A and B are shown apart, each in its own frame.
Chain A
Amino acid sequence: MTSVRLWTRDLHLYVGLFLSPFLLVFAVSTWVLNHPPAERKIPVPSPVESRTLTLADDAKVGSLAQARGILDQLQLTGEIDNVRHNTKAGRLVIPVSRPGELTTVEVDLKSSTATLSHQAEGMAAALVYLHKRPGPHLIQFRGNWIYMAIWGWLTDAVVYATVFVTATGLYLWWAYKSERTTGWVMLITGLLTVGGLVGAMVSA
Protein backbone atom coordinates (compact mmCIF):
# COMPACT_ATOMS: atom_id res chain seq x y z
CA MET A 1 0.00 0.00 0.00
CA THR A 2 1.47 3.36 -0.99
CA SER A 3 2.13 6.02 1.63
CA VAL A 4 -0.40 8.36 -0.04
CA ARG A 5 -3.09 5.72 0.33
CA LEU A 6 -2.08 5.03 3.94
CA TRP A 7 -2.25 8.75 4.80
CA THR A 8 -5.55 9.11 3.00
CA ARG A 9 -6.98 6.10 4.85
CA ASP A 10 -5.90 7.50 8.23
CA LEU A 11 -7.23 10.98 7.49
CA HIS A 12 -10.52 9.53 6.23
CA LEU A 13 -10.78 7.55 9.47
CA TYR A 14 -9.92 10.33 11.94
CA VAL A 15 -11.74 13.20 10.21
CA GLY A 16 -14.77 10.97 9.63
CA LEU A 17 -14.92 9.90 13.27
CA PHE A 18 -14.60 13.49 14.53
CA LEU A 19 -17.39 14.44 12.14
CA SER A 20 -19.68 11.56 13.16
CA PRO A 21 -21.54 13.19 16.10
CA PHE A 22 -22.26 16.29 13.99
CA LEU A 23 -23.66 14.12 11.20
CA LEU A 24 -25.87 12.37 13.76
CA VAL A 25 -27.20 15.75 14.95
CA PHE A 26 -28.06 16.75 11.37
CA ALA A 27 -29.55 13.32 10.60
CA VAL A 28 -31.80 13.12 13.66
CA SER A 29 -32.93 16.75 13.33
CA THR A 30 -33.77 16.13 9.66
CA TRP A 31 -36.13 13.39 10.78
CA VAL A 32 -37.70 15.70 13.39
CA LEU A 33 -38.12 18.50 10.82
CA ASN A 34 -39.71 16.17 8.27
CA HIS A 35 -42.12 14.60 10.75
CA PRO A 36 -43.43 17.27 13.10
CA PRO A 37 -46.08 16.12 15.56
CA ALA A 38 -49.64 16.55 14.26
CA GLU A 39 -50.47 18.79 17.18
CA ARG A 40 -47.62 20.93 18.33
CA LYS A 41 -47.06 20.63 22.06
CA ILE A 42 -47.11 24.10 23.55
CA PRO A 43 -44.25 24.36 26.05
CA VAL A 44 -45.35 25.35 29.53
CA PRO A 45 -43.61 28.61 30.42
CA SER A 46 -42.10 29.02 33.85
CA PRO A 47 -43.60 31.66 36.19
CA VAL A 48 -42.97 35.19 35.00
CA GLU A 49 -40.23 37.01 36.88
CA SER A 50 -40.05 40.80 37.21
CA ARG A 51 -36.85 42.84 37.69
CA THR A 52 -35.83 46.50 37.78
CA LEU A 53 -33.27 47.79 35.26
CA THR A 54 -31.00 50.77 34.80
CA LEU A 55 -31.36 51.80 31.17
CA ALA A 56 -28.31 53.49 29.66
CA ASP A 57 -29.03 56.81 27.92
CA ASP A 58 -26.32 56.42 25.28
CA ALA A 59 -27.57 53.17 23.71
CA LYS A 60 -29.93 53.43 20.74
CA VAL A 61 -33.37 52.20 21.72
CA GLY A 62 -34.12 48.84 20.16
CA SER A 63 -30.50 48.21 19.17
CA LEU A 64 -28.62 44.98 19.65
CA ALA A 65 -26.16 46.81 21.93
CA GLN A 66 -28.98 48.00 24.20
CA ALA A 67 -30.49 44.50 24.29
CA ARG A 68 -27.11 42.98 25.20
CA GLY A 69 -26.69 45.58 27.98
CA ILE A 70 -30.11 44.65 29.39
CA LEU A 71 -29.26 40.93 29.30
CA ASP A 72 -25.96 41.63 31.11
CA GLN A 73 -27.88 43.35 33.91
CA LEU A 74 -30.26 40.40 34.09
CA GLN A 75 -27.27 38.01 34.04
CA LEU A 76 -28.86 36.24 31.11
CA THR A 77 -26.80 34.60 28.37
CA GLY A 78 -27.86 33.36 24.94
CA GLU A 79 -28.38 34.34 21.32
CA ILE A 80 -30.62 37.39 20.86
CA ASP A 81 -32.99 36.26 18.11
CA ASN A 82 -34.22 39.78 17.36
CA VAL A 83 -35.26 42.98 19.13
CA ARG A 84 -38.82 44.25 18.67
CA HIS A 85 -39.42 47.85 19.67
CA ASN A 86 -43.01 48.93 20.14
CA THR A 87 -42.60 52.72 20.11
CA LYS A 88 -46.22 53.46 20.95
CA ALA A 89 -46.32 51.21 23.99
CA GLY A 90 -42.75 52.03 25.00
CA ARG A 91 -41.81 48.35 25.18
CA LEU A 92 -39.02 46.14 23.97
CA VAL A 93 -39.38 42.41 23.39
CA ILE A 94 -36.12 40.44 23.31
CA PRO A 95 -36.32 36.68 22.62
CA VAL A 96 -33.12 35.04 23.87
CA SER A 97 -32.45 31.48 22.79
CA ARG A 98 -30.15 28.60 23.54
CA PRO A 99 -30.50 25.10 22.08
CA GLY A 100 -33.80 23.79 23.49
CA GLU A 101 -34.59 26.92 25.52
CA LEU A 102 -36.25 30.24 24.91
CA THR A 103 -36.35 33.15 27.34
CA THR A 104 -38.47 36.14 26.43
CA VAL A 105 -37.56 39.44 28.03
CA GLU A 106 -40.18 42.19 27.89
CA VAL A 107 -38.90 45.61 28.90
CA ASP A 108 -41.16 48.47 29.91
CA LEU A 109 -39.03 51.46 28.92
CA LYS A 110 -41.10 53.92 30.97
CA SER A 111 -40.84 52.11 34.30
CA SER A 112 -37.45 50.47 33.52
CA THR A 113 -38.69 47.05 34.48
CA ALA A 114 -38.16 43.73 32.75
CA THR A 115 -40.35 40.67 32.89
CA LEU A 116 -38.82 37.31 32.00
CA SER A 117 -40.57 34.14 30.92
CA HIS A 118 -38.65 30.96 30.23
CA GLN A 119 -39.61 27.96 28.08
CA ALA A 120 -37.76 24.64 28.03
CA GLU A 121 -38.42 23.04 24.63
CA GLY A 122 -36.58 19.72 24.93
CA MET A 123 -33.85 17.79 23.15
CA ALA A 124 -35.59 17.47 19.75
CA ALA A 125 -36.05 21.24 19.63
CA ALA A 126 -32.40 21.70 20.59
CA LEU A 127 -31.27 19.58 17.62
CA VAL A 128 -33.59 21.42 15.23
CA TYR A 129 -32.36 24.77 16.59
CA LEU A 130 -28.74 23.81 15.87
CA HIS A 131 -29.67 22.40 12.44
CA LYS A 132 -31.24 25.72 11.41
CA ARG A 133 -28.48 28.00 12.71
CA PRO A 134 -27.17 30.36 11.49
CA GLY A 135 -29.66 30.04 8.62
CA PRO A 136 -30.89 32.62 6.10
CA HIS A 137 -33.15 34.78 8.29
CA LEU A 138 -32.46 37.87 10.44
CA ILE A 139 -28.80 37.73 9.53
CA GLN A 140 -28.08 41.09 11.17
CA PHE A 141 -28.73 39.40 14.53
CA ARG A 142 -27.04 36.04 13.93
CA GLY A 143 -23.94 35.07 15.88
CA ASN A 144 -24.33 37.79 18.52
CA TRP A 145 -23.57 35.21 21.22
CA ILE A 146 -20.01 33.95 20.89
CA TYR A 147 -21.03 30.28 21.14
CA MET A 148 -23.53 30.58 18.31
CA ALA A 149 -20.90 32.42 16.24
CA ILE A 150 -18.59 29.45 16.86
CA TRP A 151 -21.41 27.07 15.92
CA GLY A 152 -21.77 28.99 12.64
CA TRP A 153 -18.08 28.41 11.87
CA LEU A 154 -18.40 24.77 12.94
CA THR A 155 -21.29 24.13 10.56
CA ASP A 156 -19.12 25.44 7.72
CA ALA A 157 -16.27 23.22 8.91
CA VAL A 158 -18.63 20.23 9.00
CA VAL A 159 -19.57 20.86 5.35
CA TYR A 160 -15.95 21.18 4.22
CA ALA A 161 -14.96 18.12 6.27
CA THR A 162 -17.85 16.18 4.71
CA VAL A 163 -16.58 17.08 1.24
CA PHE A 164 -13.07 16.04 2.31
CA VAL A 165 -14.25 12.72 3.75
CA THR A 166 -16.32 11.90 0.65
CA ALA A 167 -13.43 12.84 -1.66
CA THR A 168 -10.97 10.65 0.27
CA GLY A 169 -13.65 7.93 0.33
CA LEU A 170 -13.83 8.09 -3.47
CA TYR A 171 -10.05 7.75 -3.71
CA LEU A 172 -10.02 4.76 -1.32
CA TRP A 173 -12.86 3.09 -3.24
CA TRP A 174 -10.96 3.49 -6.52
CA ALA A 175 -7.97 1.75 -4.99
CA TYR A 176 -10.20 -1.13 -3.85
CA LYS A 177 -10.32 -2.83 -7.24
CA SER A 178 -12.66 -5.70 -6.38
CA GLU A 179 -15.41 -3.22 -5.49
CA ARG A 180 -15.18 -1.04 -8.57
CA THR A 181 -18.13 -2.52 -10.47
CA THR A 182 -20.52 -2.56 -7.48
CA GLY A 183 -19.27 0.89 -6.52
CA TRP A 184 -20.06 2.27 -9.95
CA VAL A 185 -23.55 0.76 -9.74
CA MET A 186 -24.18 2.42 -6.35
CA LEU A 187 -22.73 5.76 -7.45
CA ILE A 188 -24.76 5.86 -10.66
CA THR A 189 -27.93 4.68 -8.90
CA GLY A 190 -27.52 7.50 -6.36
CA LEU A 191 -26.89 10.01 -9.13
CA LEU A 192 -29.96 8.85 -11.04
CA THR A 193 -32.11 8.99 -7.89
CA VAL A 194 -31.10 12.57 -7.09
CA GLY A 195 -31.12 13.68 -10.73
CA GLY A 196 -34.49 12.05 -11.39
CA LEU A 197 -36.17 13.54 -8.33
CA VAL A 198 -34.71 17.02 -8.72
CA GLY A 199 -35.41 17.04 -12.45
CA ALA A 200 -39.00 15.91 -11.93
CA MET A 201 -39.67 18.55 -9.25
CA VAL A 202 -38.03 21.46 -11.04
CA SER A 203 -39.56 20.74 -14.43
CA ALA A 204 -43.06 19.70 -13.25
Chain B
Amino acid sequence: MKSWLLKIHLWLGLYFLIFLWLFSASGLLLNHHWDFAEFWTNRRQTTAQHALKPLNTQSDLDRANEVMRQLNLAGEVEWTASRPTDQRLDFRVARPGRNVEVKVDLTAMSASVQDVQLNGWGSLRALHTFNGVGANATRAERDWNLTKLWTFAMDALAAGLVALVVTSVLLAWERRDRRRGAVLAFAAGCLVCGFFVVGLGWL
Protein backbone atom coordinates (compact mmCIF):
# COMPACT_ATOMS: atom_id res chain seq x y z
CA MET B 1 0.00 0.00 0.00
CA LYS B 2 2.69 2.47 1.08
CA SER B 3 4.86 1.72 -1.94
CA TRP B 4 1.90 2.29 -4.31
CA LEU B 5 1.01 5.56 -2.61
CA LEU B 6 4.63 6.66 -2.99
CA LYS B 7 4.67 5.67 -6.66
CA ILE B 8 1.43 7.55 -7.39
CA HIS B 9 2.72 10.60 -5.49
CA LEU B 10 6.00 10.49 -7.39
CA TRP B 11 4.51 9.92 -10.84
CA LEU B 12 1.86 12.62 -10.46
CA GLY B 13 4.41 15.04 -9.04
CA LEU B 14 6.78 14.49 -11.95
CA TYR B 15 4.05 14.64 -14.60
CA PHE B 16 2.65 17.92 -13.27
CA LEU B 17 6.02 19.48 -12.41
CA ILE B 18 6.24 21.70 -15.48
CA PHE B 19 2.55 22.67 -15.20
CA LEU B 20 3.15 23.69 -11.59
CA TRP B 21 6.19 25.77 -12.46
CA LEU B 22 4.34 27.44 -15.32
CA PHE B 23 1.36 28.39 -13.13
CA SER B 24 3.66 29.42 -10.26
CA ALA B 25 5.66 31.74 -12.50
CA SER B 26 2.59 33.18 -14.24
CA GLY B 27 0.84 33.62 -10.86
CA LEU B 28 3.79 35.67 -9.61
CA LEU B 29 3.74 37.77 -12.78
CA LEU B 30 0.03 38.50 -12.32
CA ASN B 31 0.52 39.58 -8.70
CA HIS B 32 3.55 41.79 -9.31
CA HIS B 33 4.36 44.51 -11.78
CA TRP B 34 8.01 43.94 -12.35
CA ASP B 35 9.66 46.22 -14.89
CA PHE B 36 11.58 43.40 -16.54
CA ALA B 37 8.29 41.63 -17.32
CA GLU B 38 6.59 44.68 -18.87
CA PHE B 39 4.50 43.56 -21.81
CA TRP B 40 1.81 46.12 -22.58
CA THR B 41 4.06 49.04 -23.54
CA ASN B 42 6.12 46.61 -25.63
CA ARG B 43 3.14 45.27 -27.56
CA ARG B 44 3.00 45.27 -31.36
CA GLN B 45 -0.24 46.75 -32.60
CA THR B 46 -1.48 46.98 -36.16
CA THR B 47 -4.78 48.06 -37.66
CA ALA B 48 -5.98 47.11 -41.13
CA GLN B 49 -9.10 47.09 -43.25
CA HIS B 50 -9.99 43.96 -45.23
CA ALA B 51 -12.61 43.25 -47.87
CA LEU B 52 -14.63 40.10 -47.25
CA LYS B 53 -16.34 37.60 -49.52
CA PRO B 54 -20.06 37.06 -48.88
CA LEU B 55 -20.81 34.96 -45.80
CA ASN B 56 -22.91 31.87 -46.40
CA THR B 57 -23.75 31.08 -42.80
CA GLN B 58 -26.42 32.30 -40.42
CA SER B 59 -25.38 31.95 -36.77
CA ASP B 60 -23.01 34.52 -35.28
CA LEU B 61 -20.39 31.89 -34.40
CA ASP B 62 -20.45 30.36 -37.89
CA ARG B 63 -20.13 33.80 -39.43
CA ALA B 64 -17.26 34.67 -37.10
CA ASN B 65 -15.52 31.40 -38.03
CA GLU B 66 -15.97 32.14 -41.72
CA VAL B 67 -14.55 35.65 -41.28
CA MET B 68 -11.61 34.15 -39.37
CA ARG B 69 -10.97 31.66 -42.19
CA GLN B 70 -10.95 34.49 -44.74
CA LEU B 71 -8.61 36.57 -42.56
CA ASN B 72 -6.45 33.55 -41.69
CA LEU B 73 -7.02 33.91 -37.94
CA ALA B 74 -7.17 31.19 -35.27
CA GLY B 75 -8.19 31.38 -31.63
CA GLU B 76 -11.07 31.56 -29.19
CA VAL B 77 -13.97 33.74 -30.29
CA GLU B 78 -14.95 36.14 -27.52
CA TRP B 79 -18.11 38.22 -27.73
CA THR B 80 -17.07 41.33 -25.91
CA ALA B 81 -19.79 43.72 -26.99
CA SER B 82 -23.48 43.25 -27.39
CA ARG B 83 -24.41 43.60 -31.01
CA PRO B 84 -25.11 47.25 -31.90
CA THR B 85 -27.09 46.51 -35.12
CA ASP B 86 -27.88 43.50 -37.32
CA GLN B 87 -25.46 44.87 -39.90
CA ARG B 88 -22.47 44.58 -37.60
CA LEU B 89 -20.60 41.61 -36.22
CA ASP B 90 -17.98 42.52 -33.61
CA PHE B 91 -15.87 39.95 -31.84
CA ARG B 92 -12.40 39.25 -30.50
CA VAL B 93 -10.15 36.36 -31.47
CA ALA B 94 -8.03 35.55 -28.44
CA ARG B 95 -5.15 33.24 -27.76
CA PRO B 96 -2.26 33.60 -25.30
CA GLY B 97 -0.08 36.42 -26.59
CA ARG B 98 -2.40 37.71 -29.29
CA ASN B 99 -5.76 39.48 -29.29
CA VAL B 100 -7.42 40.46 -32.54
CA GLU B 101 -10.45 42.77 -32.47
CA VAL B 102 -12.58 42.20 -35.55
CA LYS B 103 -15.37 44.60 -36.49
CA VAL B 104 -17.34 43.44 -39.52
CA ASP B 105 -19.61 45.70 -41.53
CA LEU B 106 -22.00 43.16 -43.08
CA THR B 107 -23.44 45.70 -45.52
CA ALA B 108 -20.12 46.81 -46.99
CA MET B 109 -18.61 43.33 -46.46
CA SER B 110 -15.47 44.73 -44.89
CA ALA B 111 -13.67 44.03 -41.66
CA SER B 112 -11.65 46.38 -39.49
CA VAL B 113 -8.96 44.34 -37.76
CA GLN B 114 -6.89 45.49 -34.81
CA ASP B 115 -4.13 43.01 -34.02
CA VAL B 116 -2.32 43.21 -30.66
CA GLN B 117 0.64 40.90 -30.17
CA LEU B 118 2.31 40.60 -26.77
CA ASN B 119 5.83 39.55 -25.87
CA GLY B 120 6.71 36.33 -24.01
CA TRP B 121 5.88 37.79 -20.57
CA GLY B 122 2.43 38.82 -21.76
CA SER B 123 1.87 35.37 -23.25
CA LEU B 124 2.94 33.70 -20.01
CA ARG B 125 0.49 35.81 -17.99
CA ALA B 126 -2.27 35.05 -20.47
CA LEU B 127 -1.71 31.29 -20.15
CA HIS B 128 -2.67 31.53 -16.46
CA THR B 129 -6.09 33.00 -17.17
CA PHE B 130 -6.91 31.68 -20.64
CA ASN B 131 -10.00 29.49 -20.23
CA GLY B 132 -12.44 30.82 -22.81
CA VAL B 133 -14.98 31.97 -20.23
CA GLY B 134 -13.62 35.39 -19.35
CA ALA B 135 -15.48 37.55 -16.87
CA ASN B 136 -16.15 40.25 -19.48
CA ALA B 137 -17.48 37.97 -22.20
CA THR B 138 -21.15 38.49 -22.98
CA ARG B 139 -21.61 34.93 -24.32
CA ALA B 140 -19.24 32.57 -22.54
CA GLU B 141 -18.72 29.27 -24.35
CA ARG B 142 -15.56 27.61 -25.59
CA ASP B 143 -15.38 27.19 -29.35
CA TRP B 144 -11.68 26.62 -30.06
CA ASN B 145 -10.43 23.06 -29.57
CA LEU B 146 -7.16 24.25 -28.07
CA THR B 147 -9.06 26.27 -25.43
CA LYS B 148 -10.98 23.12 -24.54
CA LEU B 149 -7.74 21.14 -24.28
CA TRP B 150 -5.98 23.83 -22.23
CA THR B 151 -8.93 24.09 -19.85
CA PHE B 152 -8.94 20.31 -19.55
CA ALA B 153 -5.22 20.46 -18.71
CA MET B 154 -5.91 23.07 -16.00
CA ASP B 155 -8.68 20.89 -14.57
CA ALA B 156 -6.33 17.90 -14.67
CA LEU B 157 -3.69 19.90 -12.80
CA ALA B 158 -6.32 20.84 -10.17
CA ALA B 159 -7.32 17.17 -9.81
CA GLY B 160 -3.63 16.18 -9.73
CA LEU B 161 -2.97 18.65 -6.91
CA VAL B 162 -5.84 17.19 -4.89
CA ALA B 163 -4.41 13.68 -5.48
CA LEU B 164 -0.91 14.86 -4.48
CA VAL B 165 -2.28 16.36 -1.25
CA VAL B 166 -4.27 13.21 -0.41
CA THR B 167 -1.32 10.89 -1.07
CA SER B 168 1.04 13.14 0.90
CA VAL B 169 -1.30 13.08 3.92
CA LEU B 170 -1.63 9.28 3.72
CA LEU B 171 2.13 8.83 3.30
CA ALA B 172 2.81 11.13 6.24
CA TRP B 173 0.42 9.11 8.39
CA GLU B 174 2.36 5.94 7.53
CA ARG B 175 5.57 7.48 8.89
CA ARG B 176 5.10 6.86 12.60
CA ASP B 177 8.41 8.50 13.55
CA ARG B 178 7.34 11.77 11.89
CA ARG B 179 3.61 11.62 12.56
CA ARG B 180 3.51 14.28 15.28
CA GLY B 181 5.46 16.81 13.22
CA ALA B 182 3.41 15.99 10.14
CA VAL B 183 0.12 16.49 11.98
CA LEU B 184 1.41 19.80 13.38
CA ALA B 185 2.53 21.05 9.94
CA PHE B 186 -0.76 20.08 8.30
CA ALA B 187 -2.83 21.54 11.15
CA ALA B 188 -0.83 24.80 11.00
CA GLY B 189 -1.47 25.04 7.26
CA CYS B 190 -5.19 24.36 7.76
CA LEU B 191 -5.40 26.98 10.51
CA VAL B 192 -3.66 29.73 8.55
CA CYS B 193 -5.50 28.95 5.31
CA GLY B 194 -8.82 28.41 7.10
CA PHE B 195 -8.45 31.82 8.75
CA PHE B 196 -8.49 33.47 5.31
CA VAL B 197 -11.16 31.26 3.75
CA VAL B 198 -13.63 31.28 6.64
CA GLY B 199 -12.22 33.38 9.48
CA LEU B 200 -12.14 36.74 7.69
CA GLY B 201 -15.93 36.56 7.40
CA TRP B 202 -16.17 36.56 11.21
CA LEU B 203 -14.10 39.71 11.76
Chain B 3-46 interface 0/1 with A at a Cβ cutoff of 8 Å (1 = within): 00001001111111111111010011011010000000000000
Known: A77-B203, A101-B201, A173-B14. A20 touches B189 (CB 8 A): yes
Known: A13-B172, A200-B146. A176 touches B10 (CB 8 A): yes
CB of B109 within 8 A of chain A? no
Residue count of chain A within 8 Å CB distance of chain B: 66
> Which A6-28 residues sit within 8 Å CB-CB of chain B?
10, 13-28
Which chain B residue has the least Cβ–Cβ distance from A40?
Answer: B140
Known: A13-B172, A170-B17. A31 touches B155 (CB 8 A): yes
Q: Is the CB of A204 within 8 A of B75?
A: yes
Which chain A residue has the least Cβ–Cβ distance from B195?
Answer: A147
CB of B116 within 8 A of chain A? no
CB of B182 within 8 A of chain A? yes
Residues of B within 8 Å of A169, CB to CB, are 10, 13-14, 17
Q: Is the CB of B11 within 8 A of A183?
A: yes
Known: A17-B182, A159-B24, A202-B97. A24 touches B14 (CB 8 A): no
Complex Cα spacing A31 to B131, Å: 11
Task: Tell which of A47-55, A109-117, A150-158 binds the partner.
Answer: A150-158
Known: A17-B182, A197-B149. A163 touches B21 (CB 8 A): yes
Besides A17-B186, A98-B201, A162-B24, 19 more A-B contacts (Cβ < 8 Å) are A13-B178, A15-B185, A17-B172, A17-B185, A20-B169, A21-B186, A22-B193, A25-B193, A26-B158, A27-B161, A100-B201, A126-B198, A147-B196, A147-B200, A155-B27, A173-B14, A182-B7, A190-B17, A201-B150
